Every structure is written in C-alpha cells, then in structure tokens.
Amino acid sequence: MFSKRQLIVLSLILAMLFHFTFYFNLYGAPINVLQGLHKFILAFGSSLIMIFIYFGTTWRVDLKGNEIRWVFDLLVTWIFICFFRSLIEMRTSSEIKDFLFSNYMGLSLFPVLFFIAGLNFNYFFQLNRILSIYLFSVALISLFFINYPELQHFLLLFIFYMILTIPLRSFWGKLGTLMISISVAALSLTNRAEIIRISISYLILLAYYLLLYKVTNKKIFYLIVFIILLIPAISIYLGFQGQSIFQILSRDKGSVDYSQLDPYADTRTFLYYEVFQDLRINRAIVFGKGLNGGYYSESFKILSRSNVEVGFLQILLKTGIIGFLLYITVIISSIRKALSKSNNVFIKSLGLLLAIYILMLFLENIIAYNLLNVVVWFIVGMCNSETLRGMSNEGIQNLFRNGKIESQLE
C-alpha cells in the first residue's frame, strides 16, 4: 500500500510530466510520441490520485479551523457538480472526448485539490525538492531548443513561486534560480503576463528582505495588500458603470491596433463584454454553464468558445458567481492567515503572492490543469498549515534545505 505522502508525490510528478509533454508539444519541436491524446493519461492519473486522497484519507486533520474546511469542501463539491452537469448534458462520444481530454474544460479546476498537498509540513521538503529538480532540469533541456522562444516560458510557468524560495536556498541554489528567472524573462518579452508575474515576484522578494531586516513596518505591508485586493473590486464597479479600467489605462483609447510589445494595449475589454453578454443572455451568471461552458465570440467568430484568457471570466463562465465566490473566499482566507498569523517572512511573502494572484485573475492566469494552477493551490495549502506558519525564519529555511524541523536539529 502507498502512503498519503507517496500518493501526493506521485500525483505531482504525473502533473509535471503532463505539463511538460503538453506544452512541449504546443511550443517546442514536434515529437511523435507527444502527439495525440494519450498524454492526458498523466493528467487523469494525477487528478484521480488527488480525488482518492480527498475522499479516502483523513487529510482534514492537517487543517485547523472549521470555516476554511467548510468553504473548501463546498468549493470542491461545486466543482464536481459543474463537472457532472456538463457530462450529463453531452449527447455524443465526440463531445465527451473533447470535454475529458482538455485541461481547459473537464480537468481545469482539479488543481484545487493540491490544497491538500500544502497543508502537511511533512510534505514541504520533498515537494519543493521535486519542484526544484524539475526547474533546473527543464531549464537545461530548454536551452537546446532556444530557437523556440516561448517554450521555456510555458514549461516553467511556476517560476513566480520559485523566485520566492531564493532566500531559503544555498548560494548556488540562489544563483541558479536567479539565472533561470532572467532567462525566462528574456525569452518572454512578448508575453506581458509573464513579465508582470516575474517582476512582481522580485518586488515581493524585496519586501521579504525589508520585513526580514525590519526596514519597513508590517502595517505598510498590510496596506499594500489591501490596496491590491481593492483594485479588482474597483474595476468591477467601473465595469457596471459602463467604463473599462483597461481603456482608462490605455494610452490611445481609440486605437484598435494591437501589439504584444505594447504594454498598454487593451486586449481584455472585449473579452469582458462578450462573456458578460453571453452569461446575461443565457441567464447563467449565478450557476455558470458547467466546465464545458463556452461563450459566443463575435471577435473570434466562434459560436461557443470554451477558453477565456482571463481567469476570473473563465471561473465565472464555468461555475458562475457561486463558484467564483467560493474560489476567492478560500484564497482570501489564506492570505489573512499568512499575513497575520505567520511567524516567518516566507509564508507572509506567499500571502502577498496570493494577493497578486487574485489581481492577475482579472487580467490573465488562465484556469487549466497545469503547473501554474497546481503550484498556486499548493501555496494556498501552505498558508493554511499551522505548523509552517508557526516556524521561525531559520526553522522554515532548515526545513526547505534538509527536511528537518528545529527540534530535530537540537
């Protein structure tokens, strides 16, 4: 029999292999073995393991507090309702195949279950070690395919988290992570979202050291988080008033030309308009349209477009306002715990990262079964770990480097 730790490790490895094969097939050199649908066996295996852990183990003993437990259980329940609702509505085998073999539809919200992986401090060392091995190995592999500029960016979508682990690493680990992040940024100049994520991670890293050496007041730190969380609310309010925050920030409101190299180009207003129009017409804003849900896009000339480049819109489209409120409540609760109930700066920095993640949900951060979303929910779990929050700065560094807690080092 496998232990829960072994199952979680296996699930993460399968998710990594799927992520690598999926994006290498899309953005790298075409390799026959990576073609076709069989690679989704990796994603199914990873998801089924986490589903088994959720229903078949006593993982809840690692989670302190009934409120977050109930909200998370409601979120998972709602995801399953949206999943089976979509499955029941399908009439042909081709529809079922398209639904199941898509990390943007049937599998899209199951990374939420990696919340469980972050809860138990006993998994912290091993899971971070596996993420580090993937980071350095894939960064090296991607150098042989440097003529595919977007490949490294997509293979290392979780680099934003690895940057925050720099203070916990040895000198060579720090140097290696720094060099990889620079390489990803240099090869992602046409991808605004990735540049924003990497830049913000380094700003959070700066905040980490300011807090560590008590250069800044914690209240200023909390104020920054409050302002960050206020931005999406203000944007939604302006939207209901008929104004677009993206057009307000755009330098040329009348221009329809778009360039990835233009950081001010408005590529989101029309997505908000089309998705909200579709949800309003179909009266689906409360319950969503299921995980296979799509919207009519006049811009893309597609009758039912299932992928949306904005995470908020994608969650709303597929799970409705109910699903979004449950999703966001779990994350905001985790931010509060990380910032106000943590003894170490690392967990506080993860809380700030989650605040930025909420902001990015309204701009990008597509919901899919990939390492970006897997790592985000791993982080959410860590912020809810009472043991990790209770550790000192030295204690969590020791745990990250050698897997030992302070009491074992004495």
Residue pair 264/250 in contact (Cβ under 8 Å)? The answer is: yes
* Token pair listed for 251: 């330098």
**Exposed, middle or buried: residue 210 (CB in 10 Å: 0-12, 13-18, 19+)?**
middle
Q: What are the tens digits of pLDDT across the range 45-77?
A: 999 999 999 999 999 998 887 789 999 999 999
Tell me: pLDDT of 261 over 50. Answer: no
Tell me: pLDDT of 256 over 50. Answer: no
Residue 187 or residue 165, greater confidence: 165
Tell me: pLDDT of 245 over 60. Answer: no
Best mean pLDDT range from 25-29, 54-58, 98-102, 215-219 = 54-58
Tell me: pLDDT of 239 over 60. Answer: no
**Other beta carbons within 10 Å of 45:** 17
Q: What are the tens digits of pLDDT across the range 165-180?
A: 999 999 999 999 999 9
* Token pair listed for 287: 């319950």
d(CA 360, CA 210): 24
Q: What percent of the chain has pLDDT over 90?
A: 57
pLDDT at 36: 76
Contacts with 85 (C-beta within 8 Å, 6 or more apart), sequence order? 290
pLDDT at 250: 56
Average the pLDDT over 364-381 and give the result.
94
Tell me: pLDDT of 89 over 70. Answer: yes
Say which range, 63-77, 231-245, 301-315, has the weakest mean pLDDT.
231-245
Residue written as tokens 């080092």? 409
Helix, strand, or coil (residue 310)? coil
Q: Across 157-246, where does the E strand assignment appear? A: none
Residue pair 282/305 in contact (Cβ under 8 Å)? The answer is: no
The pLDDT-based confidence of 240 (bands split at 50, 70, 90) is low
**Other beta carbons within 10 Å of 168:** 18
DSSP assignment of 229-276 equals HHHHHHHHHHHHTT--HHHHH-S-TT-----TT-TT---SHHHHHHHH
d(CA 182, CA 242): 40
Residue pair 351/338 in contact (Cβ under 8 Å)? The answer is: yes
Q: What are the tens digits of pLDDT across the range 387-410?
A: 999 999 999 999 999 988 765 544
Tell me: pLDDT of 251 over 60. Answer: no
Q: What are the tens digits of pLDDT across the range 2-35?
A: 899 999 999 999 999 999 999 999 898 777 766 7
Q: What are the CA-CA distances from residue 96 to residues 93, 170, 284 (Å)?
A: 5, 48, 22
Q: What are the tens digits of pLDDT across the range 137-161?
A: 999 999 999 888 889 999 999 999 9
Average the pLDDT over 310-329 and give the result.
94
Best mean pLDDT range from 21-35, 184-198, 329-343 = 329-343
Q: What percent of the chain has pLDDT over 70?
A: 88
